[in-house]
Amino acid sequence: MGHTITEKILAAHSGEAEVHPGQFVMARVDLMLGNDVTAPLAIEEFRNIGAGRLADAARVVLVADHATPNKDIEAAEQCRMMRDFSREQGVEHFFDVGRGGIEHALLPEEGLVAPGECIIGADSHTCTYGALGAFATGVGSTDLAATMATGECWLRVPESIRVAYRGGPKPWVGGKDLILYTIGKIGVAGARYQALEFCGEAIEALGMSGRLTMCNMAIEAGAKNGIIAPDATTEEYIRSVTGRSYTPQLSDPDAAYAHTVEIDCADIELQVAAPPLPENARPVQQMNDTAIDQVVIGSCTNGRIEDLREAAQVLKGRRVHPDVRLIVVPATRRVHLQAIKEGLAEVFVEAGGALSTPTCGPCLGMHMGVLAKGERAVATTNRNFVGRMGHPESEVYLAGPAVAAASALLGHIGSPEELR
């Protein structure tokens, strides 16, 4: 019996010839990540462990992205804790304000992730890196602390679910629509504790940005990790960001899966997920012109240059609806710079949008666009839970950049087709 890509990566990192779903392993971790919310707690626990020094400072990445640029004194203290710790322990991959961006958009772009690697992060969307053929999963702060001390992390080998996408997507339909549709089909616990392995024609044809969007939201189906087999697209992407070598893994043809979900792309319209769960995905046409107050385009899900290009294509030469506030947040400094160079920044500001420096801010209702009671937003982010972007009685509708941009112009949830 063969093995899945996830099983093969975990076996290679725990010194086993093979591993099986349900088995617990101590995996050697290639890269570990923390942010300004989770790292301070991890640093405290690291001190409690009493290890003194990091097992390997080169494998630690710390990113100040959630409440940055520091939203208040407490946030400033948390970032200082990371900064001081990085200096003390020689953490080179500490990304401060202006030097980095949102962690999950940043790490691939910095060449810190490659196929076949095993990555943990004290952030649930660490699963994003599966797009590059890596095993990557979210853990807690204490896990990060223990991994900083030992270089290893305990993991239960997950069963894998194969999700196969047949055919090509309709116009404007992208990675976000594919994943929202999939979560709508299997539910927010549909892949609980399991690996979601995305494959099929539509995935092979999808660019790296769309793949990152899809794996980013694997956690919204409860998955341990999302993963896509590395191919020519992966190799090209890796070569554009780093020169280092890596050992890719692929699923065996006779690998065992918990089950397979078959999806025909011809069935997928532009998607919107209504609150309070990402599984409430439906075609944009069914949103019945729901009026909105704010649109956020950004986050680790859809804040890459490809996303901003798509939004700008819709917004160019038009004006944001008078009742709507548009906030555009490039995910990283490179994306921000590229958006300026390509004239996208001008499109957003000309349209009446607010262009922000990279930050998680509005995505988790922390700062830079918090919603008031009863307000409704369309966001290209990944969660629409109760109170996610602000007041518990505010609402978040999830969509891709094209729908978000079109909605900002229309004043209600709608598709770019309505603008003609």
Least distance to ligand SF4, CB of residue 123, Å: 6
Report the amino acid identity of residue 169.
P
Q: Is 87 helix (H, G, I), strand (E, B) or coil?
A: helix
Least distance to other proteins, CB of residue 190, Å: 10
Q: Are strands 281-283 and 31-35 parallel, antiparallel or unpaired?
A: unpaired
Q: Is 310 helix (H, G, I), strand (E, B) or coil?
A: helix
Question: 16: closest CA among 6, 31, 27?
Answer: 27
* Beta-carbon-side half-sphere exposure of residue 208 (alpha carbons within 13 Å): 23
Q: What is the DSSP string of 201-269?
A: HHHHHS-HHHHHHHHHTGGGGT-SEEEE---HHHHHHHHHH-----------TTB--SEEEEEEGGG--
Q: Which of 1, 17, 50, 288 binds other proteins (CB under 8 A)?
A: 50
Q: Which listed option, other proteins, ligand SF4, none, makes contact with residue 102 (CB within 5 to 8 Å by class)?
A: ligand SF4
Is there binding between residue 167 and other proteins (CB under 8 A)? no
Q: Which listed option, other proteins, ligand SF4, none, makes contact with residue 330 (CB within 5 to 8 Å by class)?
A: none
Is there binding between residue 227 and ligand SF4 (CB under 6 A)? no
Residue ranges in 262-400 assigned as alpha helix (H)? 299-302, 305-315, 333-341, 344-350
Least distance to other proteins, CB of residue 187, Å: 9
Would you state the structure tokens that stand for residue 175, as one six-digit string? 């990675």
Q: Which of 15, 99, 189, 289 binds other proteins (CB under 8 A)?
A: 189
Report the distance separating Cα 199 and Cα 187, nearest Å: 19
Q: Which of 93, 104, 224, 412 binds ligand SF4 (CB under 6 A)?
A: 104
Least distance to other proteins, CB of residue 402, Å: 26
Least distance to other proteins, CB of residue 410, Å: 28
Contact 90, 57 (CB under 8 A): yes
Is there binding between residue 125 and ligand SF4 (CB under 6 A)? yes
Let me know the angle formed at the C-alpha of 124 by 82 and 35, rounded to the nearest 5 degrees.
10
Is there binding between residue 366 and other proteins (CB under 8 A)? yes
Q: Which of 18, 44, 88, 264 binds other proteins (CB under 8 A)?
A: 44
Is there binding between residue 106 and ligand SF4 (CB under 6 A)? no
By CB under 8 A, the residues from 104 to 143 that bind other proteins are 121-124, 126, 138-143
For residues 371 and 403, which CB has a smaller minimum distance to other proteins in the complex?
A: 371
Q: Which span sits near ligand SF4 by CB under 6 A: 203-211, 277-285, 336-344, 357-365?
A: 357-365
At CB < 8 A and 24+ separation, what contacts does 139-142 make? 140/38, 141/34, 141/38, 141/39, 141/41, 141/42, 141/45, 142/41, 142/42, 142/45
Which residues are near ligand SF4 by CB under 6 A? Answer: 66, 102-104, 123, 125, 299-300, 360, 363-364, 381-382
Which residues are near other proteins by CB under 8 A? Answer: 24, 37-38, 40-41, 44-45, 48-51, 66-67, 71-72, 74-75, 77-78, 121-124, 126, 138-143, 145-146, 149-150, 154, 188-189, 192-193, 222, 224, 277, 364-366, 370, 383, 385-388, 392
